[in-house]
Chains A and B, each alone.
Chain A
Amino acid sequence: MFTSDLIRPFLRTHGRILTVDLLDETDSYWLQTALELITLFQGHLGMEQANWEKSLEAYEGTRIDYLRIRGLARVLTSAATFAPKAFPHQPRDLRARLFCRGPAFENPDMFHPLSRQDVLQEVAGELGMTAEDLDKALFADHPGAHVLTYVGPAWTPQQLLQRYNLEISRGALYRAIVVQVEIYDHFKEMWRYLKLFKLMYAAKELPDGGYQLRLSGPLSDFVETDRYGVAFAEFFPALLLGDRWSLVARAKPHTRQGGKEQPVSMLPQDDLLLYRLDHTCGLHSHYRRGREYDSALERTFASEFEDFEEKFGETRGKWRLIREEQVLVLDGAVMIPDFQLVHTQDEQRRILVELVGFWSPRYLKNKIAKVQAARCPNLLLLVYESLKVTREDFGEIEGELIFFKEKPVIKDVMAAVEVLAEKLYGPAPMPKQEAPPLLADILSRCNLFQGAEEAVWHSLEDLGTLLQQSETAFAPRRYGYPSLSALVKGYPDLFEIRRGNRKGRPLEVHVLSQRIPIAFPIIPQKEE
């Protein structure tokens, strides 16, 4: 990030509107300048910083665009490394040792019988070095004596100009008091960067699918302060990661160096400047879009989920996995669950899945409290056991909670998803495209031991197993019944029922085979 002296000269105001005077990234003059600077800088590999500073001053010469040159040079040096030389003796120790012998003069006199050279020689001798080396090493720890050991990335002239433009554009935010952004994608990334730079935000849903975030800091509610301006500027490149976004900042006017600070409260509201940008600004972020997944844990879960989908096939999988799209606006704050499961047949059925593998219990509690305050109970939390929280710690929560040891077991997750979905949305809908296979067809494929002489009576469990062997996706719910016992009672043409002799007198079922070919399911009306 630039210091203000490299930014202030390029800020322009037109009435209340603040703009930044960017460099033309295609201008051959600037491309040439950038190229010369890159070459000059790279030529200083292995040389001292003071050396580079002299060369830069010489390069500036009498050019009047020297402030641009300094900015471009700052981009280069910020990405490079100047490292202190390795010294056999710490320069600080050398100074302490030598300077208690001062003052020493070139020509000795009565009170100073030893010349400067004599003193250097003596001390150097004690340290086992030459006077010349000692003289040189005295300030070797200062930045000017640091050596350019890494010249930074291999900039192209265009990249250098792009980065320069980004730096002065974000610099315009240093004096911002509050920043409002509208974002439409890459929510998780933005959120992560907001947290990184410790910014607060109040979020609002926009009618066309985006979110409006009002960014500020802890003190902003009480004082109109620009102390979060640097944090806004730090966040800015994250915003550029989005495909569609806009920003409007209210900023104090930049005072000239040494100018008297005009406090915000004294400024008429109209004197605050407006700085606006959006995704058409042509700036390039140097932040990388985050990895696809946050953590190894998340990655594991995602691959498990993919396995699951593969295994059962897309048409049968009832849930579709979406990552990070749903933003929950909770009393102004934002939460973006890791995954969202959308029911393929009923888009209203949505379960949010959040992996909790690395947060503190306190954070977690806050999170749950938040979710519940927003009456958003369709959240399934997968909690890593080693967090040392228990179910009791969560109190009574509306959402579901699963603990896991190493990685979440997809079977348990899906079961919990089903339970939660049913609790929230009622019985799952019938597939819209295809009705379930006719019960009679399933039964006709079952080995029902119909060849036996006596009528065969099956326990409900056995019948369920037989049906599932024939049709893996068999479930009473698909026929509109909550349980198998309800189902068999609902098809008197197919099943005969009696109470068995065993303890508890469980239901036993006999399949009426002759009726099978003409059986039709009776689907009850779904309650609205």
Chain B
Amino acid sequence: MVPVMDKRLYFHGGTLVLEGISRDEKQIPSSFLWSHGKWRTEAYHYASLLPWLRENAIRDTLPRWQPLNYTLYDGRQPHDYQAEALVAWQKAGYRGCIVLPTGAGKSYIAIRAIHHLNRSAVIVAPTIDLLHQWYRLLSHAFHEDIGVYYGAEKMIQPITVTTYASFGNLMGECGNFFRILLADEVHHLPSPVYSEGALMSPAIARLGLTATYPSEEEQQGEGRRRLDLLLGGPIVYALNIDDLAGERLAAYRTERIRVRLTPDERQHYDCDFTACMDFVKQRNLLRQYGANWLRELHRLSAKDRAARAALLARQRVSRLLAGCQGKLQAVDDLLREHVTEQVLIFTESNAVAYAISQRYLLPVLTHLSTAAERKDILDGFQEKRYRAIVTSRILDEGVDLPSAKIAIILGGTTGARQYIQRLGRVLRRAENKQAVLYEVLVRDTSEEGKVQRRRAATLRQGEQHVYVRPD
């Protein structure tokens, strides 16, 4: 006897499953395959299957999304191009990508889109910093609890922000909670692992946002997936950077400050630095492994006593440079110098970030800060309740802190390079004042060598003139 089972579709870990439909059934859409006793397909086919479900009277038990009925507390009128972009996306069936230059207000478009569709939404961002920024923006826009889902915090709300790294897990767990998928900096999405999250999402409305739509090559090969497949549509609206001249672009200058080690620090530095580099030279690590020499040193350190000693020496060098007296004094000086301005301080380690925070009584952002505390700190900074922020985080693309006028980077390692290039966007011109980015380096140490190498690279990319402060 055939049991009484109604035909239905349900969501299972990022896939769609048909129940009550036998293997012999002929009229199954081609994306389905028979596995584990049921017809199954990836969740992203959901929107295209809806007409078929209706025609065949298959009950759809997938959606767990809900109307939001949130009030929008953002009174700003959209720019013409923002309104045009939204209309274009709407006409494309709410699927596709909007390409706008950095600073053109992509997040504003996203918030309008959510408000317009009035349904649960998931927002995917490339980094935890951007996740927190979205959390802040959305909290302000709707005055409602916003969910965050990433390694350290997992709270799901009708509007939830996640990272590309956690996207797949969130979709597997409750992909059917979200009718809207918003992928920020969507050029990250085609990667083999990140794109799985999009395959696992049944969201009907899908919007990608980016300033740099990936090239054909970047969407192909090596397990990558095409954006139009993942978003269910192509570019629906694009605006060139030249179309947005002048005002919205960043303007800043860079000043380099070179500090000295104390005699005591110098002695330790020389000793440890020599110890490490002697080993590196002796084993020819630089020549053999190039930029990967440090990785090789790590590998050797688990086998070879000399390598272990060299690695430990290098760790002491790093700690010393990150928190040396001279750098802390430079912070002291700059904080006193820019008495009335909003200052961002970047450090290379958490330990130094906490040390500065405690020493000057300044709020600190690290990987330990929760979304709520981050929001308080960044809001406080915008409202000028906090005059300065210390952070060990690399503020990645798109992080928005318009009130910052001064940035201090206690750095020199190559890791700093990424954010120096992007900080220009953080420091925006306001009140006709140019922003300043101070880079604090230790004289006659490995930091300077790195800067030399970096300068060669950035000059090629047309970085603005760097002014070196005299001692």
Q: Is B335 within 8 A of A66, CB to CB? A: no
Q: Is B168 within 8 A of A395, CB to CB? A: no
Inter-chain residue pair count (beta carbon < 8 A): 160
Q: Indicate with 1 or 0, residue by residue over B38-66, a CB within 8 angstroms of chain A CB atoms.
A: 00111000000000000000000000000
Q: Is B12 within 8 A of A138, CB to CB? A: no
**Contact partners of A103 in chain B: CB under 8 A:** 335, 360-362, 387-388
**Contact partners of B295 in chain A: CB under 8 A:** 256-258
19 residue pairs bridging A and B, Cβ less than 8 Å apart: A64-B302, A64-B308, A67-B302, A96-B380, A100-B386, A101-B361, A102-B386, A103-B335, A116-B359, A218-B40, A222-B42, A223-B196, A227-B169, A256-B299, A261-B191, A265-B192, A368-B3, A394-B4, A397-B3
- A99–B36 alpha-carbon span in the complex (Å): 58
Is A62's beta carbon under 8 Å from chain B?
yes
**Contact partners of A455 in chain B: CB under 8 A:** none
Q: Indicate with 1 or 0, residue by residue over A368-381, a CB within 8 angstroms of chain B CB atoms.
A: 11101100000000
CB contacts under 8 Å to B, within A242-273, are 256-258, 261-266
Q: Decide yes or no: A119 and B373 within 8 Å by CB, A332-B37, A370-B37 being known contacts.
A: no
Q: Is B336 within 8 A of A109, CB to CB? A: yes
Distance from A402 Cβ to chain B, minimum over Cβ atoms (Å): 18
Taking a contact as CB atoms closer than 8 A, the residue among B33, B169, B223, B308 that contacts A264 in the complex is: B223
Q: Is A92 within 8 A of B373, CB to CB? A: yes
Q: Is B5 within 8 A of A219, CB to CB? A: no
Looking at chain B's contact residues, is the secondary structure mostly helix, strand, loop, or mixed?
Answer: mixed
User: 9 smallest A-B Cβ distances: which pairs?
Assistant: A263-B223, A218-B13, A395-B4, A102-B361, A331-B37, A263-B192, A103-B360, A218-B15, A99-B363
| A262 nearest CB neighbor, chain B only | B222
| B191 nearest CB neighbor, chain A only | A261
Q: Decide yes or no: A105 and B223 within 8 Å by CB, A100-B385, A142-B368 being known contacts.
A: no
- A120–B361 alpha-carbon span in the complex (Å): 9
Q: Decide yes or no: A222 and B302 within 8 Å by CB, A102-B387, A138-B358, A261-B192 being known contacts.
A: no
Q: Is A227 within 8 A of B36, CB to CB? A: no
Is A9's beta carbon under 8 Å from chain B?
yes
**Contact partners of B144 in chain A: CB under 8 A:** none
Is A98's beta carbon under 8 Å from chain B?
yes
Q: Is A62 within 8 A of B308, CB to CB? A: yes
**Contact partners of A106 in chain B: CB under 8 A:** 359
Distance from B368 Cβ to chain A, minimum over Cβ atoms (Å): 6
Is B412's beta carbon under 8 Å from chain A?
no
Is B301's beta carbon under 8 Å from chain A?
yes
Is B245's beta carbon under 8 Å from chain A?
no
Distance from A446 Cβ to chain B, minimum over Cβ atoms (Å): 45
**Contact partners of B2 in chain A: CB under 8 A:** 372
Q: Is A221 within 8 A of B35, CB to CB? A: yes
Q: Is A396 within 8 A of B15, CB to CB? A: no
Is A523's beta carbon under 8 Å from chain B?
no
Is A217's beta carbon under 8 Å from chain B?
yes
| A258 nearest CB neighbor, chain B only | B295
Q: Is B363 within 8 A of A95, CB to CB? A: yes
| A198 nearest CB neighbor, chain B only | B13
CB contacts under 8 Å to A, within B209-252, are 221-224
**Contact partners of B224 in chain A: CB under 8 A:** 263
Most A CB within 10 A of own CB, among B15, B301, B373: B15
Is B354's beta carbon under 8 Å from chain A?
yes
Is B14's beta carbon under 8 Å from chain A?
yes
Is A365's beta carbon under 8 Å from chain B?
yes
Is A330's beta carbon under 8 Å from chain B?
yes
**Contact partners of B299 in chain A: CB under 8 A:** 9, 256
Taking a contact as CB atoms closer than 8 A, the residue among B12, B37, B362 that contacts A333 in the complex is: B37
**Contact partners of A368 in chain B: CB under 8 A:** 3
Is A139's beta carbon under 8 Å from chain B?
yes
Is B193's beta carbon under 8 Å from chain A?
yes
**Contact partners of B402 in chain A: CB under 8 A:** none
Q: Indicate with 1 or 0, residue by residue over A90-123, a CB within 8 angstroms of chain B CB atoms.
A: 0010011011111111100101100010011000
**Contact partners of B12 in chain A: CB under 8 A:** 218
Q: Is B193 within 8 A of A261, CB to CB? A: yes
Most A CB within 10 A of own CB, among B13, B359, B361: B361
Is B76's beta carbon under 8 Å from chain A?
no
Is B312's beta carbon under 8 Å from chain A?
yes
Is B469's beta carbon under 8 Å from chain A?
no
| B305 nearest CB neighbor, chain A only | A64
Q: Is A66 within 8 A of B302, CB to CB? A: yes
Is B172's beta carbon under 8 Å from chain A?
yes
Q: Indicate with 1 or 0, residue by residue over B1-44, a CB within 8 angstroms of chain A CB atoms.
A: 11111000000111100010000000000000101110011100
Q: Is B36 within 8 A of A202, CB to CB? A: yes
**Contact partners of A265 in chain B: CB under 8 A:** 192, 222-223
Distance from A43 Cβ to chain B, minimum over Cβ atoms (Å): 24
Is A200's beta carbon under 8 Å from chain B?
yes
Most A CB within 10 A of own CB, among B3, B221, B304, B386: B3
Is B332's beta carbon under 8 Å from chain A?
yes
Distance from B36 Cβ to chain A, minimum over Cβ atoms (Å): 5
Q: Is A225 within 8 A of B302, CB to CB? A: no
**Contact partners of A397 in chain B: CB under 8 A:** 1, 3
**Contact partners of B37 in chain A: CB under 8 A:** 330-333, 370, 373
Is A65's beta carbon under 8 Å from chain B?
yes
- A262–B388 alpha-carbon span in the complex (Å): 42
A99-B362, A102-B360, A256-B295 given; name 19 further pairs at CB < 8 Å: A64-B301, A92-B373, A102-B388, A116-B360, A217-B172, A218-B172, A222-B15, A223-B42, A223-B196, A257-B295, A261-B192, A263-B224, A266-B222, A333-B37, A372-B2, A372-B3, A373-B37, A395-B4, A397-B3
**Contact partners of A373 in chain B: CB under 8 A:** 37
Q: Indicate with 1 or 0, residue by residue over A470-489, a CB within 8 angstroms of chain B CB atoms.
A: 00000000000000000000
**Contact partners of A142 in chain B: CB under 8 A:** 368
Distance from B326 Cβ to chain A, minimum over Cβ atoms (Å): 16
- A119–B13 alpha-carbon span in the complex (Å): 53
| B384 nearest CB neighbor, chain A only | A100
Is A492's beta carbon under 8 Å from chain B?
no
| B306 nearest CB neighbor, chain A only | A64
Q: Is B168 within 8 A of A227, CB to CB? A: yes
Is B141's beta carbon under 8 Å from chain A?
no
Q: Is A222 within 8 A of B5, CB to CB? A: no
**Contact partners of B191 in chain A: CB under 8 A:** 261
Q: Decide yes or no: A223 and B308 within 8 Å by CB, A67-B302, A264-B223 being known contacts.
A: no
Q: Is B303 within 8 A of A219, CB to CB? A: no
Is A143's beta carbon under 8 Å from chain B?
yes
Q: Is B199 within 8 A of A219, CB to CB? A: yes
| B383 nearest CB neighbor, chain A only | A100
Q: Is A221 within 8 A of B1, CB to CB? A: no
- A62–B385 alpha-carbon span in the complex (Å): 47
**Contact partners of B33 in chain A: CB under 8 A:** 221-222
Q: Is B13 within 8 A of A221, CB to CB? A: no
| B361 nearest CB neighbor, chain A only | A102
**Contact partners of A396 in chain B: CB under 8 A:** 1, 3-4
- A62–B307 alpha-carbon span in the complex (Å): 10
**Contact partners of A120 in chain B: CB under 8 A:** 361
Taking a contact as CB atoms closer than 8 A, the residue among B14, B19, B312, B358 that contacts A219 in the complex is: B14
Distance from B203 Cβ to chain A, minimum over Cβ atoms (Å): 16
**Contact partners of A221 in chain B: CB under 8 A:** 15, 33, 35, 40
**Contact partners of B302 in chain A: CB under 8 A:** 9, 64-67
Q: Decide yes or no: A62 and B335 within 8 Å by CB, A219-B15, A225-B196, A395-B1 being known contacts.
A: no
